[in-house]
Amino acid sequence: MSSTLILIIILAYFVLLLGVAFYTSRNSNNDSFFIGNRSSNWMLVAFGMIGTSLSGVTFISVPGTVGKMTTGAYPYGAFEYYMLVVGFFIGYFVVAGILLPLYYRMNLTSIYTYLGKRFNTEAHKIGSIFFIISRGIGATARLYLVVNVLQIFLLEQMGVPFWVTAAVLLLMVLLYTFEGGVKTIVITDTLQTSFMILSLVACIGFILSKMDLSMGQAFSQLADRDYTRVLNLNPNSKTFFLKTILGGMFITIAMTGLDQEMMQKNISVNNVKNAKKNMITFSFTLLVVNLAFLFLGGLLYLYAQKEGGFYTDPGFVLAEGGPNVMGDDLFPALSLQGHFPGIITIIFVIGLISALFPSADGALTAVTSSFCVDILNFKTQAHHKDGTALIPEKDQAQEEKRKKKIRMGVHLTFTVLFFILIMIFKAINNKGIVYLIMEVAGYTYGPLLGLFAFGIFTKRAIAQRYSILAVTLLAPVLTYLINHLISTYTVYQFGVELIILNGLITFLGLYAVSRKGNYQTAVSL
């Protein structure tokens, strides 16, 4: 297929997003940007969150994990990833049952405001900073994956440098999120999720038709090649199923329930009842969609074996022999190197860019919101508790304009930082990025997990200045050292449950520097 035609498709898709942004950003203000004026439809939020959660990692990397990986940090394969998804599923119920009621009861714009009210300003800002670091790394890792695919299979042959590809795509995201923020993203994520699922269904349908297989016959062939194995029964393995389920549960609690990007969309819904509906609906949908992506991954490997050795790399070996295949590049290689017909290639490209934009738009909006509200102390509602204005009504328009100018500057700054991080991931060039993201999350979200758990489940007070900072900085270091020592001197290997260890160390550290107090937990347990 012509590279020019693919670029036209990408441009047309972007114009569509700009049109949505123009429509949704009319009469927008800072409240629209941060929490969508608390008027989002819960069904749209639930559906759009699928695209945010899946992103390029699920679209490209998860199908690639089905083939057995013989090198790298995580020797995963078959459908073992699904146990992580089961852990996610359980975690969403914890978020819906404990965290969402807390956030709505406190009427939060930033969820890290809870830490400030429960502890002090230091905890509030530390929580925000850990989120900004965590989301920045996670979002740009996902972005890098999709940008790199477009670069390798499309733009490199046209002589376009990688940095130009990354810069242009980030500029596109910046343009359509600049004004509307969350109010725009709720709609664009819904649109992008639709295209992503359309691509998934179309590719599955094409391969089944091309190989003349029914769903049942395809599962039988996958089972014969050991591609449908779900349980890793080796307790010392990083992907042992119980560790994966438990780790997945806490990753969801941290990366969704304690993550401003994900919660920003949830608390844009008008009430907690609808927000819970959104979360539960979303959790069941993810079970189905992730299974479909793993099934697609198995089909891709079957199809690759039939097609022959189209792409080689010694690090990835098909379970039943045949051509070596690079995991994250399997789907793009088949789609963009002439192995699929033109219409399927077009659908793949639309799905790919639909996976790209949710990785960046929500993250940019969320880190901007967190920095403005938590670090710069923006107030989205300029009133005292008794309803009197903090500033005279005649000056509020001027104040809103001033804050909007600052917010746009912050938004632009984070766009530049995202670009720098993408270039760093390009230098690292990790091909198993789905588990790399989970491992990084274990170190960066662990302190958030410990902080919130300590605040919710204890009534102890922390008075000493900088003690929270010391604990939250020390916990990831100790986690890394413990992980290194155990993996070096024993047969046990930490996997995604690393986040639990980090959170526990943070919790115990906070307990050690705390004292008995009269603080009441902010949620009824």
Q: Classify residue 386: in a domain, yes or no.
A: no
**pLDDT of 476 over the 70 cut:** yes
How much is the pLDDT for 154?
Answer: 77
pLDDT of residue 54: 64
User: Closest Cα partner for 499 from 257, 290, 136, 233?
Assistant: 257
What's the domain range around 59?
3-380+391-512
Cα 292 versus chain centre, distance? 19
Model confidence at 310: pLDDT above 70: no
Structure tokens of 176?
Answer: 């359509």
What pLDDT score does 317 carry?
A: 41
Mean pLDDT along residues 247-271 = 83
Domain-embedded: residue 524 = no
Is residue 434 a contact partner of residue 290, using CB atoms and an 8 Å limit?
no
pLDDT higher than threshold 90 for residue 382: no
What percent of the chain is modeled with pLDDT above 70? 76
| Nearest one of 409, 439, 381, 438 to 110, comparing CA atoms | 381
What's the pLDDT at 521?
43
Q: How confident is the model at residue 301, as a pLDDT?
A: 85
CATH number at residue 341: 1.20.1730.10
Tell me if 360 is assigned to some domain.
Answer: yes
pLDDT at 37 over 50: no
Is it the case that residue 130 has pLDDT exceeding 70? Answer: yes
Burial (Cβ within 10 Å: 0-12, 13-18, ≥19) of residue 171: exposed
Distance CA 35, CA 180 (A): 10
Q: Which of 86-100, 130-144, 348-362, 427-441 has the lowest mean pLDDT?
A: 427-441
Cα angle 208, 214, 218; round to 5: 75
Can you name the residues that pair with 69 across neighbouring β-strands? 316
| Amino acid code (one letter) for 18 | L
Listing DSSP states for 44-57 in one string gives: HHHHHHHHHHHHHI
What pLDDT sits at residue 253?
93
Domain-located, residue 501: yes
Neighbours of 121 (CB within 10 A): 11
Chain centre distance of CA 379? 27
- Res. 205 pLDDT band, cuts 50 70 90: very high
Q: Can you read off the two tokens belonging to residue 286? A: 């993810």
Helix (H, G, I), strand (E, B) or coil at 389: strand
d(CA 211, CA 76): 26
* Range 73-101 average pLDDT: 85
290 pLDDT higher than 60: yes
| Of the candidate ranges 212-226, 385-399, 496-510, the one whose mean pLDDT is the lowest | 385-399
Percentage, residues of the chain above pLDDT 90? 23
Please give the pLDDT value at position 347. 83
Q: Is residue 198 part of a domain?
A: yes
DSSP codes, 200-212: HHHHHHHHHHHTT
Burial string for 481-508 (b: 16+ CB within 10 Å, else e) reads eebeeeeeeeeebbbbbbbbbbbbbbbe
Residue 183's pLDDT band, with cuts at 50, 70 and 90, is low
pLDDT at residue 328 in the model: 67
**Assigned domain for 523 exists:** no
**How many domains does the structure of the chain reveal?**
1
Encode pLDDT of 430-474 as tens digits. 655 656 777 788 898 999 999 999 999 998 988 788 899 999 999
Q: How far apart (Å, rounded) are the C-alpha atoms in residues 400 and 144?
A: 35
108 in a structural domain? yes
Q: How far apart are CA 525 and CA 523, in angstroms?
A: 6
Question: Which three-class secondary structure string do you get for 63-112?
Answer: HHCCCCECCCCCCCCCCCHHHHHHHHHHHHHHHHHHHHHHHHHCCCCCCC
Contact between 342 and 1 (Cβ < 8 Å): yes
23 burial via Cβ count (<10 Å: 0-12, 13-18, 19+) = exposed
> pLDDT tens across 4-27, in order?
777 888 788 778 777 776 676 655
pLDDT surpassing 50 at residue 67: yes
Instruction: Please name the residues in contact with 143: beta carbons below 8 A apart, sequence gap of 6 or more.
Output: 56, 166, 169, 170, 356, 359, 360, 418, 422
Domain membership of residue 518 (yes or no) is: no
Confidence of residue 134 (pLDDT cuts 50, 70, 90): confident
Among 23-37, 48-62, 122-136, whose mean pLDDT is lowest? 23-37
How many other CB atoms sit within 10 Å of the CB of residue 384? 9
Among 12-21, 290-299, 444-453, 493-502, the least confident range? 12-21
Residue-level pLDDT at 492: 85
**pLDDT(361) > 80:** no
Averaged confidence pLDDT in the chain: 78
Please state the rounded mean pLDDT for residues 369-385: 70
Token couple for 503: 């959170």
Number of helices (H), then strands (E), belonging to the chain: the values are: 21, 0
